[in-house]
């Protein structure tokens, strides 16, 4: 009889997990040409784009470009690469393109790869 309750509980949890809403990380704010404020359910993170060097002369243009690429609410995947001074270094990949934002930055000529 105990086995029945265990199976029922596992089935209920599986059902709940399958039909519950999945919370993805999303952009809350672009704070500079390489730093983002990310929200994940009820937490926030400061994330620096990994492997990205931005030309200081292109800072303003880069911020404008990044805000267009990652407007507030954009759903993203993060691939952590480490941390620097308490800030997460990560690859940022928007759901709608599946292309790392650093690759797009480099293709636009606004950044160089430092990895």
Q: What are the tens digits of pLDDT across the range 29-86? A: 999 999 999 998 788 889 999 998 888 888 999 999 999 999 999 999 888 888 888 8
Residue 28 clears pLDDT 80, i.e. is over it? yes
pLDDT at 3: 58
pTM, rounded to two decimals:
0.75
Residue 20 clears pLDDT 90, i.e. is over it? no
Choose which CATH entry (2.40.50.90, 3.40.190.10, 2.40.50.140, 3.40.50.1100) describes domain 23-113. 2.40.50.90
Please say whether the beta carbons of 65 and 108 come within 8 A: yes
> What dihedral angle (degrees, nearest 10) is formed by the CA atoms of 113, 80, 63, 28?
170
pLDDT at 115: 84
Please say whether the beta carbons of 78 and 91 come within 8 A: yes
Please say whether the beta carbons of 92 and 47 come within 8 A: yes
- Dihedrals phi, psi of 16, to nearest 5 degrees: -65, -45
Looking at the DSSP bridge assignments, the partners of residue 26 are 39, 75
Structure tokens at 114: 């430092």
């Amino acid at each position: 009889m105990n086995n029945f309750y265990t199976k029922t509980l596992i089935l209920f949890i599986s059902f709940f997990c399958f039909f519950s809403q999945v919370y993805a990380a999303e952009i809350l704010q672009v704070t500079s040409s390489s730093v983002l404020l990310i929200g994940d359910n009820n937490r926030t993170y400061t994330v620096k784009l990994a492997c990205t060097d931005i030309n200081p002369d292109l800072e303003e243009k880069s911020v404008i470009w990044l805000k267009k690429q990652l407007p507030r609410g954009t759903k993203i995947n993060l691939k952590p690469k480490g941390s620097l001074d308490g800030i997460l270094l990560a690859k940022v990949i928007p759901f709608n393109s599946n292309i790392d934002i650093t690759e797009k930055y480099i293709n636009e000529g606004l950044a160089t790869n430092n990895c």
